[in-house]
Amino acid sequence: MPWGVWEESTWESCTWNGNVQKIGRDQIRANSITPRRIDKDATRPYIQQQLDMFNANVTLGKDALAANNSGVSNVAIGIEALEAAANPSGIVAIGANAMQNSASALGCVAVGQNALGSGSTGQVFNTAVGANALLSTTGLGNTAIGYGAGSKITTGTVNVALGYASLGQGSAAVTGSRNIGVGQSSLRSLTSGSDNIAIGEESLSQNTSGLNNIMIGTLAGYDNTASNNTGVGYYALVSNTIGTKNTAIGVSAGGSISTASDSTFLGFEAGISMTGSRNTIMGSESGGGSGSTSSDNTFVGYRAGYGGAIGSFGQNTLVGSQIGMGVTGPANTGMGYNAFDALTSGSGNVAVGHSALFSITTATDNTAVGSLAGGNSTGSGNTFVGGAAGQGSSGSSGSNNVVVGYNAATGGAFTGSTNIIIGQGVNPQSFSGSYQINVGNAFQRDASGNLKLRRGTTSFSDALVLEDDAVLTADTFKVDGGIRKKFTVQTGTYTIPDTVAVVVCDSASDFTVTLPAATGSGQEITVKNRNTNTVTVEGDGSDSIDGAANTTLTSNQRVTVLDYAAGQWAVIG
């Protein structure tokens, strides 16, 4: 019979401790075996020696478990598997050189060539499946599945590496603990970093010492070396290097962040172009488009803030679908679909409502509340409150207007400035005029500066009117507390301006007072002499007073004159 060949017809059994084994050429060995029949008697001493050395261990392969002294319950299959282990317990090593250099180990599983192969001491409860998995570890509680998975882990503990080269492709030893890497090359460059979770091909691939990061998705957090970042989605936070406390959920969310911190991105490509800090971006493609270096922005809604290369100041708050899609200026606040639709470099604007301020581009400091409020306005410093308030028509470029009320100031292109329009459907007298007031079509200051009050439904032309070219008329007119007039006290020659109503003369010497030019304005002027001198009151140039060139006032006399026609004053008191 050939050497080492055992057949059923030539052996009965090998029995120990109630177990039955067949011994063949590969020397399957067990403790305290007493063979009943072996064809080559010369082999008995060698085999018996090998069998007596071990206690419930199973080995298969050249030099497998060769150095074992008193280790128990081990399985070593493969050339030089568990070769250097002197006192291993509960070990399973399958594969050439699996756990080859482990001098002492407990409760480890190594499956694959060189799995757990280079670690010298202290391997406890490690599990390695795959060639070169956990090749260098001396730590405990590590799990690695895949070719080269965890191959750089040395003293690190309780790490999980699943996938080719996960936690195992860097140039330095991995001493960090409690890391989880799932996917090819995930956490491949890790050294001292701990408590990281990377799930996806090359996720957290460049992270070395960063802590407490969570990245889920292919290439998520690829360049990250910082701590406390969370990214979920393909390419999420892919460019982040030293930025911290960022959160990105969605494909390519926060994809341009590099050094910035404290930002939150939620949605497909949310904030993909933004590089500033403290931004909150929520919604598909919100904050996308051209690069933006600004910080402290809040965008919520589909494509909110999309496309604008916002400068370094930022501080915009935009809430609504497609709101502010081209904004580049700072400190704008908007809420509503399509609000700020054309806004670019304008700043300090507030728009609340569907399509509010949808036409402004570079204007500043506008406030619009209501659907379509200020819709066609392009000026600055306006305030519009109410649905379609101040919407006007195309070309409404006026500034510093106040418009309150549904559909107020919508009847034309509002190019005038510094107007106040209040009331539903109320319009200014002139859309091109300035300094006008219209309150509920009841009180009006027109473009010429005239003040008008309307009673009931009558037109302004039939109402109580106070204007430059007409008297104040009404059925009754009552003023509580009297009428206060502007006056002046003079002691010498004086020309009266048309803003003064009363002149008090108080001097012991005679002097002259000249009236303003008579134009027929209806202005009244009173001159009083309260001293012992003589005061001469004369008209301007050739103007007359009751047909004369002047009139005189002696002690304590007064005269009241009326500008009733061009060049003519009339004495009325």
Three-state secondary-structure class, residue 51: helix
Residue 354 corresponds to which amino acid? Answer: H
Q: How many alpha carbons lie under 13 Å from residue 228 in its C-beta half-sphere?
A: 9
Ordered DSSP codes for 2-38: -TT---TTT---EEETTEEE---TT----TT-EES--
- pTM flag (> 0.85): no
At 13 the pLDDT is 34
Dist. CA 115–CA 100, nearest whole Å: 9
Among the listed residues 280, 284, 272, 326, the one whose alpha carbon sits nearest the alpha carbon of residue 299: 280
Structure confidence at residue 46 (pLDDT):
42
In whole angstroms, give the CA distance from residue 54 to residue 50: 7
Report the distance separating Cα 543 and Cα 548, nearest Å: 9
Give the C-alpha distances (Å, rounded to integers) separating 352 from 222, 285, 337: 40, 21, 9
Strands 123-124 and 109-111: unpaired
Contact 303, 284 (CB under 8 A): yes
Distances (CA, A) of 573 to 83, 155, 499, 558: 132, 112, 20, 8
Contacts of 288 (CB under 8 A, 6+ apart): 269, 270, 271, 272, 273, 303, 306, 307
* Radius of gyration of the chain measured on its C-alpha atoms: 48
Instruction: Give the pLDDT of residue 78.
Output: 95
pLDDT at 309: 74
| Cα 176 from Cα 170, distance rounded (Å) | 13
Residue 269 is predicted with a pLDDT of 95
The reported pLDDT for the residue numbered 480 is 52
Continuous segment of H or E residues that includes residue 160: strand 160-162
Tens-binned pLDDT, residue by residue, of the chain (573 aa): 233 333 333 333 333 333 333 333 333 333 333 333 333 333 433 443 344 344 789 999 999 999 888 888 999 999 999 998 888 889 999 999 999 888 778 899 999 999 998 765 668 899 999 999 999 888 899 999 999 999 999 999 999 999 999 998 878 899 999 999 999 999 999 999 999 999 999 999 999 999 999 999 999 999 999 999 999 999 999 999 999 999 999 999 999 999 999 999 999 999 999 999 999 999 999 998 667 888 999 999 999 998 777 777 789 999 999 999 989 899 999 999 999 999 999 999 999 999 999 999 999 999 999 999 999 999 999 999 999 999 988 889 999 999 999 999 998 999 999 999 999 999 998 999 999 999 998 888 877 777 777 655 555 544 444 444 444 444 445 555 557 788 999 999 999 998 899 999 999 999 999 999 999 989 999 999 999 999 999 999 999 999 999 999 999 999 999 999 999 999 998
| Buried/exposed 51-80: b ≥16 CB within 10 Å, e otherwise | beebeebbbbbebbbbebeebeebbbbbbb
Among 324, 317, 349, 328, which Cα is nearest to 339's? Answer: 324
Degrees, nearest 5: CA angle 532-536-542: 175
pLDDT value at residue 471: 46
**Cα first-last separation, the chain:** 157
